[in-house]
């Protein structure tokens, strides 16, 4: 099999992890170029992946040895870089969110739809996580009937870039918004946010934890807890109360040890510990797709719908009212729905 030559924009946490995975674990790919404003960090990642460091994003996009692009830069850069990659006609995986602003996400979708070819995959890796995949398979099988209530928990040990409630929605809880659309196979239609009194580590004007309630198109109710500075570690779970039973996706199978009058469970420091396998499977599916195999992944419409939900949740923080999630029209290019 010819190897797809990937250029990576962003050599931070997730860019470095994807580079390692593409270079060492994923079949059918190699990393040929890296760009990052921090040249030292770019050089370190390039050395482990056997890639070259290029000076600018434009150099990477036009490089003859880059067939596909992985955008792992800060969230605010995603849309502009995706538009530039569309302009040169290269397929790309854009890390979530597609954009933190709905207008930017829609602009990317409009540009891709105008070109008439689906080039963008959005990095919602939970769709490949064995725990979430099993949860979806069981829901789809109908064994417990349709979902009525969903409870999601998403906690980080600390907010990596300082705590901002809007970022909690557009960077962190956006995963749960995508997971719920995908699990239920329907859109989120309205949202309400409930905030407790500020804790000692919460900056003035920000909220943490937050309780975020969504209604779905069919009338299911979803409760998401976001706790960005939970301190103790990283944790994600999803519990579904359905018509004829319950489904519980707890911690993705971490070992719980039971000893004399004691139970102990290891908790990961951050998400790469919990979702390492999901990221690897996501990369393999993307590369398989680039080789022409049909592999399910989040597309640009999914990216737009998740950003729309996150932006409505940001608005809802200030009002504590139910806020409608406003979706644009879905272009014909996407199989609309989830
Ligand atoms: C981070 O940006 C991610 O994308 C992780 O997957 C997520 O679980 C974490 O909460 C975010 O902060």
Residue nearest to atom 3 of ligand 1 (CA): 172
Is the pLDDT score of 257 beyond 70?
no
Range name among 45-59, 134-148, 180-194, 258-272 with the lowest pLDDT average = 258-272
Given this model, what pLDDT does residue 268 score? 78
Whether 175 is in the pocket of ligand 1, judged by its Cβ within 6 Å, is yes
Whether 163 is in the pocket of ligand 1, judged by its Cβ within 6 Å, is no
* Residues 133-141, mean pLDDT to the nearest whole number: 93
In terms of phi and psi (left: phi > 0; alpha: psi -120 to 50; beta: otherwise), the region of 17 is alpha
Asked, as a colleague might, if the bond just before 162 is cis with ω within 30 of 0, I would say no
Q: Ligand 1 pocket test: which of 172, 178, 273 has the largest number of ligand atoms within 8 Å of its C-beta?
A: 172
Given this model, what pLDDT does residue 1 score? 54
Is the pLDDT score of 240 beyond 50?
yes
Is the pLDDT score of 113 beyond 70?
yes
Given this model, what pLDDT does residue 338 score? 46
Dihedral in degrees, nearest 10, Cα atoms 74, 75, 80, 86: 100
Residue nearest to atom 12 of ligand 1 (CA): 172
Using the mean position of ligand 1's atoms as its centre, give its distance from the Cα of residue 71 in Å: 15
Dihedral in degrees, nearest 10, Cα atoms 297, 146, 239, 173: 50
Is the pLDDT score of 253 beyond 70?
no
Residue nearest to atom 7 of ligand 1 (CA): 172
Q: Which atom of ligand 1 is nearest to the CA of 96?
A: 4
Q: In which band, very low, low, confident or very high, does the pLDDT at 255 lie, cut at 50, 70 and 90? A: low
pLDDT digits (tens, 9 = 90+) for 50-91: 999 999 999 999 999 999 999 999 999 999 999 999 999 999
Range name among 167-181, 207-221, 232-246 with the lowest pLDDT average = 232-246
Q: Are 155 and 235 in contact (CB under 8 A)?
A: yes
Whether 156 is in the pocket of ligand 1, judged by its Cβ within 6 Å, is yes
Q: In which band, very low, low, confident or very high, does the pLDDT at 16 lie, cut at 50, 70 and 90? A: very high
* Residues 128-132, mean pLDDT to the nearest whole number: 93
pLDDT digits (tens, 9 = 90+) for 261-295: 787 777 777 888 899 999 999 999 999 999 999 88
Residue with tokens 């932006």: 311
Using the mean position of ligand 1's atoms as its centre, give its distance from the Cα of residue 31 in Å: 23
pLDDT digits (tens, 9 = 90+) for 91-110: 999 999 999 999 999 999 99
pLDDT digits (tens, 9 = 90+) for 295-322: 889 999 999 999 999 999 999 999 989 9
Residue with tokens 């996501």: 282
Angle (CA) 229 234 237, round 5°: 110
Extract the tokens encoding 10.
């962003």
Spell out a b/e string for 155-177, using b for 16 or more CB atoms within 10 Å of the CB, else e: bbbbbeeebbbebbbbbbbbbbb
């Amino acid at each position: 099999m010819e190897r797809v030559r990937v250029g990576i924009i962003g050599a931070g946490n997730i860019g470095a992890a994807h580079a390692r995975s593409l270079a060492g674990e994923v079949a059918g790919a190699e990393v040929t170029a890296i760009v990052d404003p921090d040249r030292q960090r770019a050089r370190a990642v390039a050395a482990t992946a056997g890639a070259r460091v290029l000076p600018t994003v434009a150099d990477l996009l036009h490089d003859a040895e880059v067939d596909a692009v992985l955008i792992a830069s800060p969230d605010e850069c995603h849309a502009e870089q995706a538009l530039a990659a569309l302009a040169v006609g290269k397929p790309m995986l854009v890390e979530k969110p597609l954009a933190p602003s709905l207008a930017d996400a829609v602009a990317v979708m409009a540009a891709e739809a105008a070109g008439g070819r689906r080039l963008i995959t959005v990095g919602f890796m939970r769709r490949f996580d064995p725990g979430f995949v099993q949860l979806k398979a069981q829901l789809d099988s109908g064994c417990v009937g349709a979902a009525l209530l969903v409870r999601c928990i998403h906690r980080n040990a600390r907010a990596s870039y300082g705590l901002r409630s809007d970022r909690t929605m557009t960077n962190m809880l956006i995963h749960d918004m995508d997971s719920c659309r995908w699990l239920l196979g329907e859109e989120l239609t309205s949202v309400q946010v409930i905030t407790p009194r500020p804790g000692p580590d919460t900056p003035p004007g920000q909220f943490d934890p937050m309780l975020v309630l969504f209604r779905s198109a069919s009338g299911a109710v979803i409760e998401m807890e976001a706790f960005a500075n939970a301190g103790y570690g990283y944790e994600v779970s999803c519990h579904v109360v359905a018509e004829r039973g319950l489904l519980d996706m707890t911690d993705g199978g971490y070992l719980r040890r039971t000893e004399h009058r004691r139970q102990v469970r290891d908790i990961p420091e951050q998400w790469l510990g919990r979702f390492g396998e999901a990221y690897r499977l996501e990369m393999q599916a993307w590369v398989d797709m680039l080789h022409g195999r049909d592999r399910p992944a989040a597309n640009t419409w999914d990216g737009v719908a998740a950003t729309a939900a996150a932006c409505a949740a940001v608005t809802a923080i200030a009002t504590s009212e139910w806020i409608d999630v406003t979706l644009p029209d879905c272009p014909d290019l996407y199989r609309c729905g989830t």
